[in-house]
Amino acid sequence: MTDKNTINIYRNKALVNFEGKNFLGQIGVDSRIFQALNEGGISVGVISQQAIENGISVLVDEVDAEDAVKFLKKEFEKEAKEGHVSNIYSIDNLSVIGFVSDNYNKILSELQRNKIFPLLLSQIASAGRVNIVVTENQTEITKNIIETEIYGKPKTVHLALIGHGNVGGTLVEQILDSAYDILKRKRVDLKIVAIANSKKIAFNQTGFGSDWRQKIKFSQTDSSIERLVEFAKEHHLENLVMVDNTASKDFVKHYPTFVENGFDVVGSNKIYNTLPISEYRDFRKLLEKNKKKYLYETNVGAGLPLIDTIKLLHLSGENITRIKGVFSGTLSYVFNNFSLRNDKYSVVIREAMEKGFTEPDPREDLSGNDVARKLLILARELDLINEFQDINIQNLVPENLLDIDKNEFISRLEELDSEYQSVKENQKPDHVLRYVGDLHGNLQEEKGELDVKLISVPANSALGQLKGSDSIFEIYTESYGENPIVIMGAGAGAKVTARGVFGDILRLSETK
Ligand SMILES: NC(=O)C1=CN([C@@H]2O[C@H](COP(=O)(O)OP(=O)(O)OC[C@H]3O[C@@H](n4cnc5c(N)ncnc54)[C@H](OP(=O)(O)O)[C@@H]3O)[C@@H](O)[C@H]2O)C=CC1
Ligand SMILES: N[C@@H](CC=O)C(=O)O
């Protein structure tokens, strides 16, 4: 049926399934099936006892399926009356895909990762010949996966990018700029097939190009997760990745739906990782069950390789005893500049916003929530089961400005000036302000202690010398003793963050 180096596809096939207990294993049943169908002039492709539980499946041409069921019901009328045969029925609209491979298991696992479960498979082990039966609408995607695995055809990765603001918009440009290079060097074909904001979504199954902003601007389609999942199914897209570059608390509720529908997840959005620990854990179980991944390296330290480092240290058994530092690019920029310059606090905050360091609502930074989330994310990487409420947070936003509209808050930033001017002036000489996070306590217990606060440090200390929007993370471990591992660098900004998200997409694409 199958030549080496070709993939043969036979369409318009049907499976006639024959169900019954005990009786089906008996000698002579196969030949009675053959004979009954032969006498009816129906040619039989494959007979398999593995495809359905307690059953036999027979492959026939779709046009013959109805007759095949009729002939078999007649042949086994007596057994049906006696209760040995419980059901005979056909499944139409199938394809047989035949190929030769010495690594069928790898192909099967790739198919499963893409939610393709063949209805029947037959294998001649010695020759490496395999025939699998899939539904017609899974034929193309199955063929693509087999081609990638057998012939090294470039692997197409289909990206759905949710959020195209500072980070998301920069990411689209970075992907478009590098896609050709990645295709040549890595044989990975990155296609952006969906782009969404909170109101609209735009689709292009062949991949968006440089006019993507126009396409989303003029899209008539309301932003909808259901529509996106449907689109991926309609176009039989394999290797799906949903990339969340929003800061939305509502959007993360859809992560499980994506995973259940065959998507891996990449996110700069920190919200999912700071939901109650039960949801955090359930999601990891769901990922495992569906053989999917969730990568979020940019959740802490933007493009800095922090989460991976901590994961590796922890996984390798290194005992991490404390993590502290300046976790916020925004608050680093604000206090590094405000401490040294004569400008007002509000002026420096506005600069941080203009530079794209702040969250969509800058109160998330100024309230300490964003630093608290990062600290919690790191704590959970160490298997601590802290909740957000466990964190001691020093909120820098006055209570009367907490619940007002975001734009009104921004217009009233000057109301913060006098308080912070006096905080700055009341420090000891040669001291500067720094907003820090500190994970400490006995980290071998279930929960650690998490503090997020504004402190005053000597200008010549490591923290005091921080510049620009740099973050600094000091990771203390048992082996390294008093000398922490220090990771320092740009802790915010659209370019470095988008680059980090891009890194996660590539990491996923290579392991897919
Ligand atoms: N800036 C930085 O340095 C870093 C940022 N991050 C994270 O990156 C994420 C994005 O930040 P940033 O790019 O600055 O934010 P922006 O406000 O610039 O962009 C957010 C985007 O998300 C869209 N969006 C919001 N809600 C939804 C929704 N429910 N469904 C679909 N789309 C939605 C917005 O669309 P619309 O315009 O319609 O609202 C917009 O396109 C945040 O989670 C942030 O924490 C992480 C590390 C560093
Ligand atoms: N607003 C955040 C962005 C990165 O997570 C920050 O300033 O650090």
- Nearest CA-CA partner of 469 in 338, 328, 349: 328
Is 374 a catalytic site residue?
Answer: yes
Instruction: Answer whether 470 contacts ligand 2 (Cβ < 6 A).
Output: no
Residue 455 phi, psi dihedral angles, 5° rounding = -130, 165
Which tokens sit at 467? 């510049």
366 vs 58 pLDDT, higher one: 366
The pLDDT of residue 85: 87
Instruction: Answer whether 298 contacts ligand 2 (Cβ < 6 A).
Output: no
ipTM: 0.99
User: Stretch 324-342: mean pLDDT, rounded?
Assistant: 97
- Among 273, 348, 359, say which to mutate for ligand 2: greatest number of ligand atoms within 8 Å of CB: 359
Q: 3-class DSSP state for residue 246?
A: coil
- Set out the domains of the chain in order of their start, with CATH numbers: 7-150 (3.30.2130.10), 155-299 (3.40.50.720), 306-492 (3.30.360.10)
Q: Which atom of ligand 2 is nearest to the CA of 330?
A: 7
In 394-448, beta strands by DSSP E = 431-440
How would residue 103 be classed by pLDDT, with cut points 50, 70 and 90?
confident
Smallest-distance ligand from the CA of 504: 1
In this predicted model, what pLDDT tens digit does every residue of 39-97 receive, in sequence order?
989 988 776 765 455 678 889 999 999 999 999 999 999 988 988 888 899 999 999 99
Q: Which of 13, 191, 270, 374 is catalytic?
A: 374
Sheet of 449-458: strands edge to edge? Answer: 392-393, 449-458, 431-440, 320-326, 470-477, 485-490
Instruction: Answer whether 471 contacts ligand 1 (Cβ < 6 A).
Output: no
Residue with tokens 């993507």: 212
Is it the case that residue 178 has pLDDT exceeding 80? yes
Residue 162 Cα to ligand 1 midpoint, Å, equals: 9
Question: What is the pTM for the complete model shown?
Answer: 0.89
- Among 245, 246, 473, say which to mutate for ligand 1: greatest number of ligand atoms within 8 Å of CB: 246
Q: Which residues pair with 10 in a beta bridge?
A: 96
Please name the residue ranges forming H helices in 400-493.
406-411, 417-425
CA torsion, ordered 423, 424, 428, 431, to nearest 10 deg = 130
User: Stretch 328-341: mean pLDDT, rounded?
Assistant: 98
